[in-house]
Amino acid sequence: MPQQLSQQTLIGDVVHLWEVKEYEQHDRPWSWYVFMLSLGLFFVLYGMFTGNFLFSLVIILSGIIFFLQSKQSPQMVPIFISELGIGIGTKFYKYSELNSFYIIFRPHEIKMLYIETESTLSPLLRIPLDGNNPLEVRATLEKYLDEDYQKEEEPVSEAFVRGWKL
């Protein structure tokens, strides 16, 4: 379980430090909104027709959340890698809580660090590398964690979200 970062948290010397946006904000064309609105309306009507009003309510609430999120600017979240663990925002993960890592790097498309944790509640941490050199980050993490060389692709859910601009 990650610790809340405070003044008393022992983190060791920070090796890498950067900031990332809380979430990726997509530029969506008007046709995306028309398509998603049509799809959402179809699912709401399907839920009502089949008597599954809870499904319709979930679709409506999801649409409202997506709309509100698209109008809000993402906050900047600090990320750091230190001698004792990894900090993401206000949480600190000790290396003993982490299993392995892998980096997916395709220039101009994706530059992401994935860290597998021991936790069943959040088994995979996704950290954008942004301007960091992936080779330097890999060299640092190899001192403390095992690299999973078999993972060469991003998770299917990540590709789906990126492809559909969700």
Report the distance separating Cα 124 and Cα 137, nearest Å.
17
SS3 of 33, please?
Answer: helix
Question: Tens of pLDDT along 66-123?
Answer: 888 888 888 999 999 999 999 999 999 999 999 999 999 988 788 999 999 988 777 8
Tell which CATH architecture fits domain 3-23+76-163. Roll (2.30)
**DSSP states of 97-166:** GEEEEEEEEETTTEEEEEEEES-SSS-EEEEE-TTS-HHHHHHHHHTTSEE-TT--S--HHHHHHHHTT-
**Which H or E element spans position 17?**
strand 14-21
pLDDT band of residue 5 (cuts 50, 70, 90) is: confident
Name the β-bridge partners of 111. Answer: 105
- What is the pLDDT at residue 110? 85
Q: Which one-letter amino acid corresponds to residue 165?
A: K
pLDDT at position 97:
92
Q: In whole angstroms, give the CA distance from residue 140 to residue 23.
A: 25
pTM of the model: 0.79
**How far is CA 101 from each of CA 41, 70, 139, rounded to the nearest angstrom?**
40, 31, 12
